[in-house]
Structure 1
Amino acid sequence: MNEAADVRAFWQGLGLPGLVDVHTHFMPKNVLDKVWAYFDAAGPLVNRPWPITYREAEEQRVRRLREFGVRGFTAMLYPHKPGMAAWLNAWSADFAARTTDCLHTATFYPEPEAPGYVARAIEGGARVFKAHLQVGGYDPADRALDEVWGLLASTGTPVVAHCGSGPVPGRFTGPGPIGEVLKRHPGLVLLVAHMGMPEYGDFLDLAERHPDLRLDTTMAFTDFAEADAPFPRAELPRLRDLRERVLLGSDFPNIPYRYLHQLEALAGLGLGEEWLRAVCHDNAAALFGLGPG
């Protein structure tokens, strides 16, 4: 099987110049090794067998995305304790500088230093942030983050947030806590990871109320996700209507299936080629100013 050729055939068949994937993971090796070990052990936040399909060295993973024709991708990384985010941001800035097709990614944690290092990251060229409420275990509506959310909203800097309750609920997952953030900062450009899995309908409701909210497709609709958290087919018309606010995400490399399967799962929804073109490339290209290719 030549997966790269098959992935390229997918987007070429849609008349696209490539793919833009807003949810890929690159992080310091020692951190990624611990993430992979957690998946290997099926830790409490995973709670099921989860083999890593693309367990490769960093340069091999970058090369693979390029072979797939992914013309823009992210370096999603996230802290699980205080004092970690600024160090991750420094690593990510260096990674973006040496990986020009990576959208410079940063992160934060509710701590006194957060407004300062978030401002510095934005000034340094960060184009997207990652918030992981399940792993971080923090309330996004914590007043310690008000200035951070305000900075992100006022600069129009997108934030990819794992705020749904899959695969295992956290204390601050679900639409309620992040919904409170949106009430305080209605201009925030929020990308809800995993389509808000498993609270799909609730996050579609939020998207319909907040025009700057977007959804990323990460793992949604795949056989792996459908086994435990199936997307309700009655919601497909709403998903079709939100075409301009759904963006391709994959979770590469930390996925238990081939990259192509995410694309095939999207095509299998039967929402049409115009929808696929928007989701797989055009929406993210417009959001991040990548141009037509």
Structure 2
Amino acid sequence: MSSLRTGVEDEAGEVRRFWNGLGLPGLIDVHTHFMPERVLHKVWDYFDANGPLTGGLRWPITYRRQEEERTALLRRFGVRAFTALLYPHKPGMARWLNGWAADFARRTPDCLHTATFYPEPDVEGYVREAVASGARVFKAHVQVGAYDPADERLQQAWGVLAEAGIPVVVHCGSGPAPGKHTGPEPIARVLARHPRLRLIVAHLGMPEYEEFLGLAERYDQVRLDTTMAFTGFTEALMPFPRQALPRLAALGDRVLLGSDFPNIPYPYLHQLHALERLGLGDEWLRAVCHDNAAELFGLSPGQAGA
């Protein structure tokens, strides 16, 4: 057995010990990336080149593997449901990406059928189509897309998603590098118009952690995912304010595990240990790592993503 395979199996065993120790049937990860291979490779190239939106950071991709290897690895970790977060950076991409994601969900039963959108004339139509075809979660990337989430062209689409109760994982914080429309104010304008929208704020809204905690406290359908938060990589740059930990603990029923797999510069296990080290207790960890997402997506203990 190669040293690489041995390392993967060792890590998988440690990940499984983590959730077994909490008495869970596995993990649910709401922030993983699957997309057409040529698109994903361009994303990896961007990280390799230390593109501006990475904050100029050295960002090695830990799980740079073929698609089937990546899905198999998540299963070995015991991730019983995950997402295929994908996103356009220009008009005309979203409908095509949604078609790919629908096919990926059909052939990957443990993936929650994911879709996306962009401010463009036909956005309401293809969002309705994606909902009708069974999309369970959407992705919006305000930083990469460089659009105002409160753009008038998106209002009907937001309304469709709010009415359908479909969660939207949205990268709207200003980390690792700010964009023209990142930060709490633009997405707050969306919530003012659509207060029942089930937004999942990616990365706990880093680095504007406290402002996004405030949105979650104000709107009871706003949730946050843990993606990259509390890891050594992030704490060195955008540390979570320790005075805000009681607020995070109080929102324990609306915090969801996210990892950014495969695009992370450290092992998957590190995210889990970073959450454990917060000392918020096993009940909080069980909710974050599994139970909150299981309830949100209606997954029974024996049911995967399909």
TM-score by length of 2: 0.95
- Give the match for residue 175 of structure 1: 184
Matched residue SS, 1:228:
coil
CA-CA distance at 1:113 after TM superposition = 0.8
For 1:45, what is the secondary structure of its paired residue?
A: helix
Equivalent of residue 291 in structure 1, options 297, 300, 303: 300
Deviations 1:128-167 (A, max 9, x none): 0000000000000000000000000000010000000000
2:231 is matched with which residue? 222
Is 1:62 the counterpart of 2:75? The answer is: no
Tell me the amino acid that sits aligned with residue 234 of structure 1: Q
Equivalent of 1:53 in 44, 47, 62: 62
Picking from 262, 268, 272, the partner of 2:281 is 272
1:60-96 Cα deviation digits (max 9, x unpaired): 0000000000000000000000000000000000000
Q: Matches of 2:104 and 2:125 in 1, distance apart?
A: 21
Q: Deviations over 1:200-230 (max 9, x none)?
A: 0000011100000000000000000001000
Aligned to 1:192: 201
Unaligned 5+ residue runs, structure 2?
Answer: 1-6
Separation in 1 of the partners of 2:100 and 2:29? 20
Residue 239 of structure 1 corresponds to 248
SS in 1 for 2:200: strand
Q: 2:266 aligns with which of 257, 266, 269?
A: 257
Letter in 1 for 2:204: M
User: Residues of 1 paired with 2:241 and 2:278: CA distance?
Assistant: 11
CA shift, 1:103, in A, is 0.1
Task: Show the counterpart of 1:12.
Answer: 20
Task: Give 1:126-205 correspondences, 5 Å limit.
Answer: 126-205=135-214
Secondary structure of 1:264's partner? helix
Name the structure 1 match of 2:39: 31
**Which whole-Å CA distance do the structure 2 matches of 1:277 and 1:23 have between them?**
17
2:87 is equivalent to residue 78 of structure 1: yes
Shift of 1:48: 0.8
Q: Deviations over 1:22-50 (max 9, x none)?
A: 00000000100000000000000011100
What letter is aligned with 1:250? S
Find the aligned partners of 1:167 and 1:102 in 2 and give their Cα distance.
27
The one-letter amino acid paired with 2:12 is A
Unaligned runs of 5+ in 1: none
The amino acid that maps onto 1:254 is N
Determine the C-alpha separation between the residues in 2 that align with 1:42 and 1:292: 41
The letter of the residue matching 1:130 is: K
Equivalent pairs counted in the alignment come to 293
Give distance in 1, aligned partners of 2:57 and 2:107.
Answer: 35
Letter in 1 for 2:60: P
Identity %: 71
Aligned AA for 1:142?
D
TM-score (norm 1): 1.00
Aligned-residue Cα RMSD (Å) equals 0.4
1:212-249 Cα shifts (integer Å, max 9, x gaps): 00000000000000010000111010000000000000
Q: CA deviation at 1:292?
A: 2.2
In structure 2, what is the Cα distance between the partners aligned to 1:248 and 1:17? 15
What is the one-letter code of the residue matched to 1:101?
A: D
